[in-house]
């Protein structure tokens, strides 16, 4: 097991990474002993891991109840959230209760937001079981549900007590979700670490083959990079926005195609191709580096072309992006491989051309 | 105008108290210049003050849109909150937008919670127009909506940028709401300031007659007392719980009678009578002081007897109180007039007797 630390003053927390961790009572005990715990998860994950987690919680001295939510992005809704509150109230969880988010990004976002606002905020633990959740969404405290007009439009910054990332749980992950998680791994390299991009280019087949050592390295390095950014800018007043590389286009793809049609990681992958194209056209990235971005994404088995929504629809969907300031959409551009920056002054024509270049 | 300051480090903010403030552009300008602003209010308050507030915002250099919500406690619901998000998204409010909560406690709680979670949190201003909101709910950052199983069960701690309390707006307040506000004023005396209780006993008729100087003093002293408590314990990990004196019983009354039947301040008033009775029975308050509590509440024209729900129903409703720890309900008791403390070890029989003593 390796343990990193996200440094946020009194909200600092450990990120444990290793095989078999989700059944380890000692990792839960400091947070749940003598408490009431609600384990929020979905039916698929529950079938695989719920019993093991509840056993570990019992060993750690907690009384736990499961709260099952729908599978998939549609669970990030008012209706499902309200059912979670119902379950927490029925289980008489007080302010000293603890929520455990057991599952992928959807469960983490939903359960984390439920914990953020239930009785004005109770603590929670992230136990991510997908690669995407382990390398990205479980770390950093962003929680949210979707709104009909945009993804993650309603949410909170609410840091977990700890992240318990069990890489053995990736063995059961569907192929498509593994690749979607690799998209966020690659993203961390593109925006922050050229050496990690070199490593990914050399090891992408090992990741796709789920070699344990390669996966563990990818999870650890991704969490390290993300933790540094979050420690420097918890609430995204500046630097943290670079983690959204590929996400402005990506959110438009997800919303335009209908939530759940594209996995988040797939949309981000294509969004990164568009953002690299935009970077090349804006003159911050060499053309050959934009091709390098696209090539690695394609090698990971991820889509490099977006759905044919029509360019105007893309622009409309991007208008509600949370990074927009005074109505102007802002983009994360690559400033060479391994460096990123936020730009809000880009010409509409460049944006249109970059979308057009990556359409099906 | 008098200005207090709530000291919370980088989240510190001013509380302005005086007549005619809600139309004063200079008070808004530091927070809204060049920004998009959504003014959340209800039809009654809108008819009285919206134009004046929007004019002041325009003078302060902001572009504002009104967002009308239902009047009354029923507005603190998922459905209304979702309509607020819809309006904010339609108005293209970005993270640099500002919400103005113009109205009473319901509008402040709802609009504040909307601001707390819209795009994971945007800033907001409190412009309270009822006595209850001016002396209590607009100060301290508590925001929430209700859940079918309990009041204020879903919410956030989200401090405003500033509180602008215009005492002239109390001229148009219905008599019943004025009295409900006085309940929270009196509460601050009971739990924190014997001298203020003496002043209230001498001046209660002036408050009921809406004498401007008396109202301004009552608002200022209440805000001072509350600000001290919040500064010491923003997230209610200890001391702040004393502000809930009368609220454990009060929430049960509100929920049991059906939200909106009893005004919050009325329920708290009767709740304080029950809590003083409990204090006397638990031996922390002299019998004559419990009578003094009841007498002042009666002189303010507030109810001293609760609805006949049946004692078991009271106990059941109190079980979901947010102050409950490990399933045990905790109460704020008076430790003499002007001092309060939290107790979680009270015998059920004492609680039953205290409710029974104050039933209709």
Tell me what ipTM this predicted complex has.
0.91
Per-residue model confidence (pLDDT) at position B322: 67
Catalytic residue of the set A76, A151, A217, A240: A240
Contacts of B140 in chain A (CB under 8 A): none
Clarify whether A226 is annotated catalytic: yes
Q: Which residues contact A256 (CB under 8 A, 6 or more apart)?
A: A307, A309, A313, A314, A317
Grade residue A360 by pLDDT with cuts at 50, 70 and 90: confident
Per-residue model confidence (pLDDT) at position A322: 67
Rounded to an integer, the average pLDDT of A179-201 is 98
- Locate the chain B residue with the closest alpha carbon to A78: B78
Catalytic residue of the set A224, A236, A254, A266: A236
B164 CA to chain A: closest CA distance, Å? 24
Per-residue model confidence (pLDDT) at position B258: 83
Contacts of A147 in chain B (CB under 8 A): 82, 85-86, 89
Q: Is B117 on the interface with A (CB under 8 A)?
A: yes
pLDDT of A299 > 70? The answer is yes
| Residue B269 φ/ψ region, left for φ over 0, alpha for ψ in the -120 to 50 degree band, beta for the rest | alpha
Per-residue model confidence (pLDDT) at position A327: 60
Q: Is B238 on the interface with A (CB under 8 A)?
A: no
Q: Positive or negative CA dihedral for B145, B164, B120, A233? A: negative
Grade residue B319 by pLDDT with cuts at 50, 70 and 90: confident
Clarify whether B247 is annotated catalytic: yes
Q: pLDDT tens digits, residue range B215-268?
A: 999 999 999 999 999 999 999 888 999 999 999 999 999 889 987 799 999 999
Is residue B108 a contact partner of residue B128, using CB atoms and an 8 Å limit? yes
Q: pLDDT tens digits, residue range A212-266?
A: 999 999 999 999 999 999 999 999 888 999 999 999 999 999 889 987 799 999 9
Q: Which two tokens stand for residue A35?
A: 């408490």
CA pair distance A103, B351, nearest whole angstrom = 43
CA pair distance A284, A341, nearest whole angstrom = 10
List the single best residue of B120, B236, B251, B316 to mutate versus A (max A Cβ within 10 A): B120
Q: Between the CA atoms of A285, A287, A290 and A295, what dihedral angle is there, to the nearest 10 degrees?
A: -160
Rounded to an integer, the average pLDDT of B160-174 is 97
Is residue A254 a contact partner of residue A270, using CB atoms and an 8 Å limit? no
Contacts of B112 in chain A (CB under 8 A): none
A117 CA to chain B: closest CA distance, Å? 5
Clarify whether B184 is annotated catalytic: yes
HSE-up of residue B7 (Cα within 13 Å, Cβ side) = 6
pLDDT of B7 > 80? The answer is yes
Of residues A82, A120, A150, nearest to B157 (C-beta)? A120
Per-residue model confidence (pLDDT) at position A149: 82
Grade residue B325 by pLDDT with cuts at 50, 70 and 90: low
Q: Is A259 on the interface with B (CB under 8 A)?
A: no
A303 CA to chain B: closest CA distance, Å? 28
Rounded to an integer, the average pLDDT of A42-63 is 98
Contacts of A324 in chain B (CB under 8 A): 92, 94
A74 CA to chain B: closest CA distance, Å? 16
Per-residue model confidence (pLDDT) at position B356: 95
Q: Which two tokens stand for residue A39?
A: 């384990």
Grade residue B358 by pLDDT with cuts at 50, 70 and 90: very high
CA pair distance B210, B216, nearest whole angstrom = 10
Grade residue B150 by pLDDT with cuts at 50, 70 and 90: confident
Per-residue model confidence (pLDDT) at position A329: 85
Clarify whether B343 is annotated catalytic: no
A131 CA to chain B: closest CA distance, Å? 24
Clarify whether B244 is annotated catalytic: yes
Nearest Cα neighbor of B345 from B278, B290, B276, B255 is B278
HSE-up of residue B216 (Cα within 13 Å, Cβ side) = 16
Nearest Cα neighbor of A14 from A4, A29, A23, A24 is A4
**CB pairs < 8 Å spanning A and B:** 117
Tell me the CA distances in angstroms from B239 to B192, B207, B235, B236, B248, one per residue in order.
11, 29, 10, 7, 16
Q: pLDDT tens digits, residue range A121-176?
A: 999 999 999 999 999 999 999 999 999 888 899 999 999 999 999 999 999 999 99
Q: Is A117 on the interface with B (CB under 8 A)?
A: yes
**Interchain proximity A147–B319, CB inside 8 Å:** no
Clarify whether B52 is annotated catalytic: no
Helix (H, G, I), strand (E, B) or coil at A187: helix
Rounded to an integer, the average pLDDT of A88-107 is 95
Per-residue model confidence (pLDDT) at position A237: 86
Q: Is B327 on the interface with A (CB under 8 A)?
A: yes
pLDDT of A323 > 70? The answer is no
Per-residue model confidence (pLDDT) at position A321: 67
Burial of B213 from C-beta contacts in 10 A (0-12 / 13-18 / 19+) = exposed
Grade residue A73 by pLDDT with cuts at 50, 70 and 90: confident
Contacts of A155 in chain B (CB under 8 A): 117, 119-120
Is residue A315 a contact partner of residue A257, using CB atoms and an 8 Å limit? no
Is residue A265 a contact partner of residue A254, using CB atoms and an 8 Å limit? no
What are residue B18's phi and psi, to 5 degrees?
Answer: 170, 175
Q: pLDDT tens digits, residue range A256-274?
A: 998 779 999 999 999 999 9
Which residue segments constitute the domains of chain B, with CATH numbers given? 2-171 (3.40.50.1970), 175-356 (1.20.1090.10)
Q: Please calculate the CA angle B121-B126-B132 and round it to the nearest 5 degrees.
A: 125
pLDDT of A328 > 80? The answer is no
């Amino acid at each position: 097991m390796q343990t990193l630390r996200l440094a946020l003053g009194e909200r600092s927390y450990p990120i444990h990474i290793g095989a078999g961790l989700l059944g380890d009572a000692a990792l839960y005990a400091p947070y749940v002993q003598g408490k009431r715990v609600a384990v929020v998860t979905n039916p698929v994950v529950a079938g695989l891991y719920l019993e093991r987690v509840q056993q570990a919680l019992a060993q750690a001295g907690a009384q736990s109840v499961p709260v099952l939510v729908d599978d998939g992005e549609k669970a990030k809704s008012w209706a499902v959230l309200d059912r979670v509150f119902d379950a927490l109230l029925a289980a008489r969880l007080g302010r000293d209760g603890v929520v455990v988010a057991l599952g992928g990004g959807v469960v983490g976002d939903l359960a984390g937001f439920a914990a953020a606002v239930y009785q004005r905020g109770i603590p929670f633990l992230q136990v991510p079981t997908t690669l995407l959740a382990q390398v990205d969404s479980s770390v950093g405290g962003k929680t949210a549900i979707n709104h009909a007009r945009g993804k993650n439009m309603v949410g909170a910054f609410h840091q977990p007590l700890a992240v318990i990332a069990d890489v053995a749980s990736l063995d059961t992950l569907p192929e498509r979700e593994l690749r979607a998680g690799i998209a966020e791994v690659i993203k961390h390299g593109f925006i922050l670490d050229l050496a990690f991009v070199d490593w990914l280019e050399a090891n992408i087949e090992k990741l796709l083959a789920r070699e344990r050592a390669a996966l563990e390295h990818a999870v650890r390095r991704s969490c390290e990079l993300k933790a540094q950014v979050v420690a420097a800018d918890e609430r995204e007043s500046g630097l943290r926005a670079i983690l959204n590389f590929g996400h402005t286009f990506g959110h438009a793809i997800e919303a335009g195609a209908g939530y759940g049609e594209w996995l988040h990681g797939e949309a981000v992958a294509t969004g990164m191709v568009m953002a690299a194209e935009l970077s090349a056209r804006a003159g911050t990235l060499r053309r050959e580096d934009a091709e390098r971005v696209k090539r690695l994404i394609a090698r990971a088995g991820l889509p490099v072309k977006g759905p044919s929504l029509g360019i105007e629809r893309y622009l409309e969907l991007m208008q509600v992006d949370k990074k927009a300031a005074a109505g102007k959409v802002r983009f994360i551009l690559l400033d060479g491989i391994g460096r990123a920056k936020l730009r809000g002054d880009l010409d509409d024509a460049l944006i249109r051309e970059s979308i057009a270049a990556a359409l099906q």
